[in-house]
């Protein structure tokens, strides 16, 4: 099963301090809006999302259908097929994609340590 591009979405306390910190590590702003309290920082193919006041916990994010440059992949495993495999593996989904639809959808599950895992398909 290929889950697509990976990033970590961090629930930060001070987006300006976090931006400065990740810039010192060699990341640069790739997307987002500082005035709306979110940025996507990129260093090579590593992506870190900084989100102030949007959610309580850090989130592991996978984007089926995208590469690390947010470019649509020609061939990818649809979120609904991934969801079927997750269910078959006995995993408990917190939210599910509507299997009667196509295109963008998401699935959320929680890992054994309480970390949210978001599978977020944009195409």
Question: Domain of 69: which CATH number?
Answer: 3.10.180.10
Query: What residue numbers bound the domain in which 112 lies?
Result: 5-121
Say which residues have a Cβ less than 8 Å from residue 123's Cβ, sequence separation at least 6: 65, 66, 72, 73, 76, 103, 104
Which pLDDT does position 31 carry in this prediction?
Answer: 96
Strand ranges (DSSP E) for the chain?
5-12, 28-33, 38-43, 46-52, 59-63, 93-95, 105-110, 116-121
How crowded is residue 44: how many other Cβ atoms within 10 Å of its Cβ?
Answer: 8
CA distance 64 to 97: 13
Which pLDDT does position 55 carry in this prediction?
Answer: 93
Quote the number of domains for the chain: 1
Which pLDDT does position 98 carry in this prediction?
Answer: 97
Name the stretches of the chain with pLDDT < 50.
none
How crowded is residue 114: how many other Cβ atoms within 10 Å of its Cβ?
Answer: 7
**DSSP H/E element including 84:** helix 79-88
């Amino acid at each position: 099963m290929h889950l697509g591009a990976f990033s970590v979405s961090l629930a930060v306390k001070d987006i300006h301090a976090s931006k400065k910190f990740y810039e010192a590590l060699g990341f640069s702003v790739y997307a987002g809006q500082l005035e709306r309290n979110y940025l996507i920082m990129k260093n090579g193919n590593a992506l870190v999302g900084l989100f102030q006041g949007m959610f309580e916990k850090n989130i592991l994010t996978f984007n089926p259908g995208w590469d690390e440059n947010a470019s649509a992949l020609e061939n990818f495993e649809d979120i609904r097929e991934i969801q079927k495999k997750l269910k078959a593996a006995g995993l408990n989904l917190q939210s599910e994609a509507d299997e009667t639809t196509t295109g963008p959808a998401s699935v959320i599950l929680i890992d054994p340590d309480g970390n949210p895992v978001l599978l977020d398909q944009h195409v």
